[in-house]
Amino acid sequence: MSDRKIGDVILKAENISLSFGGVKALTDISLDVREHEIRAIIGPNGAGKSSMLNVINGVYTPQEGTITYRGEQRKDMNTYAAAASGIARTFQNIALFSGMSVLDNIMTGRNLKIKSSFVEQALWIGRARREEMENRKVVEEIIDFLQLQHVRKTPVARLPYGIKKRVELARALAAEPNMLLLDEPMAGMNVEEKQDMCRFVLDTNDQFGTTIVLIEHDMGVVMDISDRVAVLDYGKKIGDGTPDEVRNNPEVIKAYLGAH
């Protein structure tokens, strides 16, 4: 559908194992992500999808295995380092500042781009002022992109679920990420909201060339928009490949029918 070129592998997770006490969340998982692609991780409930995302993002440190991001191997990457290296994410359970307006929430995504000091910001002088204008412009472009103009000044708590999810995506985009991790972006949405979200994910990928890793429960959605899909079940990877390959993989069929 576009001239975006899927590039080299930029993130490589090798032999990742993660356990919480005696519970093994992930067992010996390896997967890679290529630049500019839409990469999905799917699986039934409790398959370890979110854990995998949290490992990539540096929230969890796996007991075994390595993560290589843009040629740099990191045993334990923390969240700050992940964000600074251009990885942004959304959460399965909406994690916005509910008392703040949509605009302010998205502005928080610009946090890492702000260089002015606390004092400058408090007095709104010098570069604080210039920075705010620059950042506001970027944020306004995202608001336009995700069609959030009508709720710009509305406190997030008053918004319907589908729009909140879009605000989360907006905040993640405000960081101008290279890689965007989306944790069940369509969970709990109605058909129309899902279609909107799919379009926004595809547009983001197309417009900004952002590499997207998304976790989804809904197979249908994933198959339509992803370039490659990895399937997890009980913490193990049981399939990986193009949507067509995955769809015809007997193990995947078994896992999905079993967990039906």
Partner 1 sequence: MPEPTTFPRLLLAHADARPDAPALREKYLGIWQTWTWRETATEVREVAAGLASLGFKRGDNLAIIGDNRPQLYMAFASAQCLGGVAVPMYQDAVADEMTYVLDNAEIKFAIVEDQEQVDKLLEAREKAPVEHIIFDDPRGLRNYSAPGLQSLEALRALGRDYMAKHPSFIDAEIEKGKTTDVSVMLYTSGTTGKPKGVCQTHEAFITAAQGGVAFDHLVGTDNVLSYLPMAWVGDHLFSYAQWLVAGFTVNCPESGDTVMIDLREIGPTYYFAPPRIFEGMLTNVMIRMEDASKLKRWLFDKFMAVAKRSGAKILDGEAVSFGDRVKYALGNVFVFGPLKNTLGLSRIRVAYTAGAAIGPDLFRFYRSIGINLKQLYGQTETCAYVTLQPDRQIKFDSVGKAAPSVEVKLAENGEVLVRGPMVLKEYYKRPDATAESIDQEGYFHTGDAGVFDGDGHLKIIDRAKDVGRLANDAMFAPNYIENKLKFFSHIKEAVCFGHGKDAVMAFINIDLTAVGNWAERRNIVYSGYIDLAGKPEVYELIRECVEKCNAELATEGELAHSQIARFLVLHKELDPDDDELTRTRKVRRGFIQEKYGPLVDALFSGKQMQHIETQVKFEDGRTGSIAADIKIAEAKRFPAVTKAAA
The site for partner 1 (CB under 8 A) is made up of: 1-3, 136-137, 140-141, 143-145, 147, 149-150, 152-153, 203, 206-207
Report, in Å, the least distance between residue 190 CB and partner 1: 18
Nearer to partner 1, 78 or 149 (CB): 149
- What angle, 0 to 180 degrees and rounded to 10, lies between the N-to-C axes of helices 161-174 and 127-145? 130
The whole-angstrom separation of Cα 38 and Cα 222 is: 9
Nearer to partner 1, 83 or 146 (CB): 146
Report, in Å, the least distance between residue 199 CB and partner 1: 9
Nearer to partner 1, 209 or 241 (CB): 209
Report, in Å, the least distance between residue 140 CB and partner 1: 4
Report, in Å, the least distance between residue 191 CB and partner 1: 18
182 and 213 Cβ atoms separated by less than 8 Å: yes
Nearer to partner 1, 145 or 234 (CB): 145
Residue 117 φ/ψ region, left for φ over 0, alpha for ψ in the -120 to 50 degree band, beta for the rest: beta
What is the per-residue burial (b if ≥16 Cβ within 10 Å, else e) of 143-163?
bebbebeebeeeebeebeebb
| Residue owning tokens 């916005």 | 96
Report, in Å, the least distance between residue 156 CB and partner 1: 17
Nearer to partner 1, 24 or 152 (CB): 152
Nearer to partner 1, 1 or 191 (CB): 1
The whole-angstrom separation of Cα 139 and Cα 254 is: 44
Report, in Å, the least distance between residue 31 CB and partner 1: 29
3-state secondary structure 198-212: HHHHHHHHHHHCCEE
Whether the CA torsion 93, 97, 100, 101 is positive or negative: it is negative
